[in-house]
Every structure is written in C-alpha cells, then in structure tokens.
Amino acid sequence: MFPAGSPSHTFRRLSLLQLLLLLQALGRGLGRASPAGGPLEDVVIERYHVPRSCPREVQMGDFVRYHYNGTFEDGKKFDSSYDRSTLVAIVVGVGRLITGMDRGLMGMCVNERRRLIVPPHLGYGSIGVAGLIPPDATLYFDVVLLDVWNKADTVQVSILLRPPHCPRMVQDTDFVRYHYNGTLLDGTTFDTSYSRNHTYNTYIGQGYIIPGMDQGLQGVCIGERRRITVPPHLAYGENGTGDKIPGSAVLIFDVHVIDFHNPADPVEIKTLSRPPESCNETSKLGDFIRYHYNCSLLDGTRLFSSHDFGAPQEATLGANKVIEGLDTGLQGMCVGERRQLVVPPHLAHGESGARGVPGSAVLLFEVELVSREDGLPTGYLFVWHKDPPASLFEDMDLNKDGEVPPEEFSSFIKAQVNEGKGRLMPGQDPEKTIGDMFQNQDRNQDGKITAEELKLKSDEDQERVHEEL
Ligand SMILES: [Ca+2]
Ligand SMILES: [Ca+2]
C-alpha cells in the first residue's frame, strides 16, 4: 500500500480521459521542445506572465500592438521596439510577420508577457538578414501585448451599475453630462474628466464626439456606470490624437452619467402629496406665494434649501424672479401640496450655470406650497377692490387742513386694507409699501400730499391704463 497523497496514489486516481489528455500534452511539449538539442519544429511559447483577466485572446487577422526585445541564443540583442520607442502595430496571422511571430502571438492576452523561441525555418531561414541576422539563427523574442482589435469589431458596452429606477434612457439629440476615465487596453490612462473636476458635456448622436461614444452612450440611464470599449476605427483611427492616444488604439471609457436632458424637455411635475381637503383655488400667474424647497442635482448632490434660511421662499409667479422652471412648476398647486420638479437647464441656469450650479445641470426640486394670495398687477403697490371713493383727498385729509402728511396717509391706507376696500402689494413690509406710495404721490417731495398732487398722479395712472389697453 502507498501512503495517502503519494504520487502513485494520486496518479491512480486520474480517470482514463485525464490520463489521455496528460499524455497528449506531454507529447506536444516534447514535439515542440528541442529534443536533445536538435532543431525545433515549431515556435516554443513560454507564457511567463498571464493577466488574471483576459477578455479576449489574439486570433488570426486581429490587429495588435506590442513591444518586443529580440535576442540570439547567446543573449545578444539584434532588435527591439523599445529602442525605437514605437510599438509594433500590425495585423497578425496573415504573413506580414515572420511565421514564428505570426504563430507565437496567437492566443495572447493584453498585458501578457511571452517568450518566443523561433527556429530558423519560421524566422529568417538559411539566408538571414544581411548585417542583422545570420543564417540559420534561432531567435528569442520577449513580447508584451498592449492592444488587440479587429476591423470587424463594434463598440462593446458592459453595464457596470444600472440604477433600479430608470424612467428614461438617452437617445439621439439628448444632452448628457458624464464623468469618465479613459484608458488604453493595457490600463494606461489617457484622459479623465475627474482630474478637471468637471463633467464632460455633449449632445448625443450629433457627431460631436467620436462615433464609438455616440453609439456607446445610447440607452444609458441617469446614474448608470458603464464601460464602453471603442475600436480605433470608431475612435481616433490610425493616427491617434495628441500625445496620449497612439494610432490604432482601442479606447476604454468608464463612464458615470450624472444627468441628461433634451433641449425640448418641459419641466417634469410629479405631485408627491396633496392636503386631504380639496382646495378651491390653486396657484396661478401673478399670485404671491410662499413655498419651501429643497434643490439637488440628479446625482443626489444637495445644492440649496429654503430650510437653510428658516423661512419659506417668497415669489410672485410669473414675475421672472425665480427660474422659469419654478415659475411653471409652482403653478396649479394647492396650499399644502408637495411636488417633485425636474427642471432642465434651459429652464434653470442654462449652459453657464450659476453660483453652486454646474453649467447645463438638470435640477431636482422638492417644493411645498405654504401660502398663496392674489398678487397685484405689475407695478402696482395698492389696488382698490371696487372704485376708489369719489372724495379721495378729503377722506385722506383726516384733520381737514388741506395737506396729507405721511402719518395721515398711512392711517388712511391701513384703514382701507382693514375694511377690505383695498389691498397692498403682497410680499413686502406694508410700512415700506405705504412709504413708497407716499413718495410717488408727493411730487415735489416736501413731505406732504396736496389735492393737486393726488389728482396729477391719478390722471397719470388713468393714462397709463389706457395706453396698456
Ligand atoms: Ca391733513
Ligand atoms: Ca407735496
């Protein structure tokens, strides 16, 4: 009996099939190796570094880029791509290389390192190369593969992370903002948007970017991460670009989509909750409203919140005091209603952005309408609900001395408001509004209003109304 674990014991446990495969492999090895120093029949391949990940192996007809060192048996160098600082870029397996190299590169992975021993009949034969390779030379190549593609390749997309919620996917004419890391197949970074701290922004399907990216970004979701592998004929071709992208290079883009929109997009409005009791009147253009809001980017970055100020935001709808998207998105709301608004940049802060808002950013708002009241027509500080009293000046002149100083004016206006006869412009301290009204009426700025001054002003207002009509 053999002790457990001894070679014989292990050997006995091999199945017949395994045994056959083992013998076959041994036979191949013997056939390739140089038996007793005799000539090699075939190229010998030593794969001394094989990367853990090898999505693709070199096949006949592939285009490869690689570095190599060529030496003779005694270690003397006869050629090296490193000396020229240029990778070999060539189609493999179609006779453009010596047969030994054509065969020796087959099945190779990017970043793999191989040593090839090429017998003379698969190299430069009995003639050699004058001055470089003597006749009947066995050649030794150390090769590292950096790139492989085929002209039949299309763009490869692999989705690394897709958010569970994807209401819409990118299509042609959309404008996308994304971050990316750009690497060559061997892992060398050629560009990254992260280093600029700025997303890459572009229209899709309009030819603004390389065709491979136009194709590779199709159907992407907001928040998605995907890897887009672009063969050179859909990237920068045989010439490459700049000093980072060599000719005929496959490019890998690891993309993270921050947001996208279409220039034709309206504000997207979604009601989150409504007060239980129905409301008779909803917010409309011209209304003075108070609302709370939280504003963020689509990737969750928090930008602003009315809660930071401890008080609701105030605005007159349609007065162009807030971004267009809010003017629209805050209309038709009941007091107490909560909404989510997705506002594209052309209805927000546009291409150039604003303080704290990146250019072309889509904004996400959560808004709650706190209060609403009818506003006044543009330019008005006060309106009468019905016609003003016929004896306006006499009514104002409380002590009947023929002059109306600020105190009388203020008391009079406040009385009208309290009695429900008129309304001050909402959204501003009433004292200030009344002060402004007084300034408007007191034409000669002597601190009191006369009957003549009041008449002048009301005539002007009449004219103005007529002109507007
Ligand atoms: Ca008076
Ligand atoms: Ca006056």
| Burial classification of residue 304, based on how many CB atoms lie within 10 Å of its CB (0-12 exposed, 13-18 middle, 19 or more buried) | middle
Selecting among 68, 140, 190, 365, the annotated active-site residue is 68
- Using DSSP's 3-state secondary structure scheme, residue 62 falls into coil
* Annotated catalytic residue 78: yes
Please report which ligand is nearest the Cα atom of 447: 2
Give 428 Cα–ligand 1 centroid separation in angstroms: 27
Give 340 Cα–ligand 2 centroid separation in angstroms: 51
Q: How far apart are CA 121 and CA 41, in angstroms?
A: 9
Give 382 Cα–ligand 1 centroid separation in angstroms: 21
Sign of CA dihedral 430, 434, 439, 445: negative
What pLDDT was estimated at residue 425? 87
Give 428 Cα–ligand 2 centroid separation in angstroms: 25
Give 433 Cα–ligand 1 centroid separation in angstroms: 20
Q: Which two tokens stand for residue 132?
A: 């470089």
Selecting among 42, 45, 98, 214, the annotated active-site residue is 98
Give 390 Cα–ligand 2 centroid separation in angstroms: 21
Selecting among 66, 124, 175, 200, the annotated active-site residue is 124
* Annotated catalytic residue 308: no
Low-confidence ranges of the chain (pLDDT < 70): 1-38, 462-469
* Annotated catalytic residue 124: yes
Give 431 Cα–ligand 1 centroid separation in angstroms: 19
Q: What are phi and psi of 141, to 5 degrees?
A: -120, 130
Selecting among 63, 140, 141, 288, the annotated active-site residue is 141
Give 432 Cα–ligand 2 centroid separation in angstroms: 19
Selecting among 72, 78, 203, 412, the annotated active-site residue is 78
Selecting among 79, 186, 395, 436, the annotated active-site residue is 79
* Annotated catalytic residue 82: no
Please report which ligand is nearest the Cα atom of 409: 1
Q: Per the confidence metrics, is the pTM higher than 0.85?
A: no
What pLDDT was estimated at residue 32? 44
What pLDDT was estimated at residue 411? 95
Give 234 Cα–ligand 1 centroid separation in angstroms: 85
* Annotated catalytic residue 141: yes
What count of Cα atoms within 13 Å lies in the side-chain half-sphere of residue 135? 2
pLDDT digits (tens, 9 = 90+) for 125-178: 999 999 999 999 999 999 999 999 999 999 999 999 999 999 899 999 999 999
Give 412 Cα–ligand 1 centroid separation in angstroms: 11
- Give, as residue ranges, everything with CB less than 5 Å from ion ligand 2: 442, 444, 446
Contacts of 326 (CB under 8 A, 6+ apart): 293, 315, 341, 343, 365, 367
Which contacts of 16-23 are long-range, i.e. CB under 8 A and separated by 24 or more positions?
none
What pLDDT was estimated at residue 427? 79
CA 334 to chain centre: 35
